[in-house]
Amino acid sequence: MGGVRKPAASFVVPGPCGVAVRDRLKHLTAQDEGVLRAVGAHQGALASGDLKARCADGLEHGAETWAARKRELTGVSSSRIAGAITKATHDQWALARRCQATHIRKLDAGIRTLRHRLSLPVGEKGTKRAAGGYRSKSEWFRKSRRLAALEDRHTAAVADWQAGRVRVVRGGKRLLNTRHHLTEARLTEEQWRERWEAERWFLAADGESGKRFGNETIRVSPDGEVSIRLPAPLAHLANARHGRYTLTARIAFAHRGAEWADRIEANRAVAYRIHLDVERGRWYLTASWQRPAVQTIPLDTARARGMIGVDTNADHFAAYRLDRHGNPIGDPHHFFYDLSGTAGHRDAQIRHALTRLINWAKCVGVAAIGIEDLDFTTEKTREKHGRR
């Protein structure tokens, strides 16, 4: 437990593989909203059923079962919508598996820490790298019971992993649990129900290169006109040719608008998602597309012109300019941030600090930034630091 961790080999982080931009759908009519709600509810029900079928397949899933699910959905929607739903289901199941693996690793870290501390004499002091024994026999007894509980959870989690069994909530587990705490959340049952239904809608379509404006299901023209290909049971709601419904709203992406326009004019794939922010009462459209893989340069080439080494701390980035041999040049720079408040505030603080760091890197003329890649799975476990 007290050994020094061995540093892994340095590596160059690959560039971003995708882009997403969002704009608000303004001035929608009551009919527009009614159609969006109907389409979202219909396709959301299909997505829920498909996710249930995928979870039931478990590790027995394969290309044949995927194709069978898609054929079944095609009859009540369309081939493209069925493809989008089954792909989203596959991604959601895979994400649940990754989270399950992470949960098992955290349980492992907690169990190791508990076993180590329980093996030490009561009252033995710890070191900087390893926690000591428990302070009293009473605490030792309580922690021994907690060890048994964690081992039981670990056994159940490993059994689920081996059986390919995941637990997924469409709409989110947190929102589901809010249903039992409406008073604390300051919500009525009707308000909660509206949020729950909106989160379970499915109003998304994958892009398709070669099709008009890069998407046949949700199409956005260069002048911002948005139209939706309705599923077969809702075709009677169409107000345009070929079973489409055109919204009265127009969109104009302020960020990366030129890049988006270049893609759709060349009929390159662009995926779209429409969602409702129930709290604000606003509809949004998100466009996303993939970027071609950027060839990463070797680490020696990246630091040939010098680089900036960054140390992450609780309230700031400490950055040093380094020469090609790794020696510091000049005084360190500190880029402070405040991690109190809401998650949105914390994210904004980190983004602002990173922006100032990148701007400083450009000013000094370096071509690379080196930042530590730390794994605190064991250090962050509650069994070492309690609930702090």
Angle 177-181-185 from CA coordinates, rounded to 5°: 105
Amino acid residing at 190 = E
Using pLDDT thresholds of 50, 70 and 90, give the confidence band for residue 266: very high
* SS3 per-residue string spanning 107-162: HHHHHHHHHHHHHCCCCCCCCCCCCCCCCCHHHHHHHHHHHHHHHHHHHHHHHHHH
Backbone angles phi, psi at 204, to 5 degrees: -145, 155
Which range of 11-15, 65-69, 294-298, 363-367 scores highest in mean pLDDT? It is 65-69
pLDDT at 178: 95
Q: pLDDT of 192-231, one tens digit each?
A: 999 999 999 999 999 899 999 999 999 999 999 999 999 9
Average pLDDT over residues 314-342: 88
Using pLDDT thresholds of 50, 70 and 90, give the confidence band for residue 95: very high
How far is residue 114's CA from residue 135's CA, in Å, rounded to a whole number? 14
pTM score over 0.85: no
Tokens 């971003």, residue located: 16
Q: pLDDT of 12-55, one tens digit each?
A: 777 778 899 999 999 999 999 999 999 999 999 999 999 999 99
CA atoms within 13 A on the CB side of 192: 17
pLDDT at 325: 80
Q: pLDDT of 161-187, one tens digit each?
A: 999 999 999 999 999 999 999 999 999
Q: pLDDT of 330-384, one tens digit each?
A: 888 999 999 888 888 999 999 999 999 999 999 988 888 888 776 665 556 666 6
* Residue 191 pLDDT greater than 90, yes or no: yes
The full set of domains in the chain, from first to last, is: 299-371 (3.10.20)
Given strand 244-250, what is the order of strands in its sheet?
218-220, 225-229, 244-250
Q: pLDDT of 117-168, one tens digit each?
A: 999 999 888 887 778 888 899 999 999 999 999 999 999 999 999 999 999 9
Tokens 């961790």, residue located: 5
| Average pLDDT score over the chain | 89
Cβ-based neighbours of 178, under 8 Å, separated by 6 or more: 185, 187, 192
Tokens 């709601």, residue located: 237
Q: What percent of the chain has pLDDT over 90?
A: 67
Cβ-based neighbours of 98, under 8 Å, separated by 6 or more: none
* Residue 263 pLDDT greater than 90, yes or no: yes
Closest CA to 366 of 309, 314, 312, 316: 309
Cβ-based neighbours of 331, under 8 Å, separated by 6 or more: none
Q: E-assigned strands of the chain? A: 18-25, 204-205, 218-220, 225-229, 244-250, 271-277, 282-290, 307-312, 316-322, 328-336, 369-371
How far is residue 255's CA from residue 259's CA, in Å, rounded to a whole number? 9
Given strand 271-277, what is the order of strands in its sheet?
18-25, 282-290, 271-277, 204-205
Q: What percent of the chain has pLDDT over 70?
A: 94
Helix%, strand%, coil% for the chain, nearest 5: 45, 15, 35
* Distance, first Cα to last Cα, the chain: 20
pLDDT at 139: 92
* Residue 1 pLDDT greater than 50, yes or no: no
Average pLDDT over residues 260-276: 94
Using pLDDT thresholds of 50, 70 and 90, give the confidence band for residue 295: confident
Classify each residue of 73-112 as buried b or exposed e, where b means 16 or more C-beta atoms within 10 Å of its C-beta: bbebbbebbbbbbbebbbebbeebeeebeeebebbbbbbe
**How many Cβ atoms from other residues are within 10 Å of residue 270's Cβ?**
26
Asked if 215 contacts 268 with a C-beta cutoff of 8 angstroms, the reply is: no
Measured over the CA atoms of residue 36, residue 38, residue 44 and residue 47, the dihedral's sign is negative
Assign 307 to helix, strand or coil. Answer: strand
Tokens 């992450």, residue located: 312
pLDDT at 380: 62
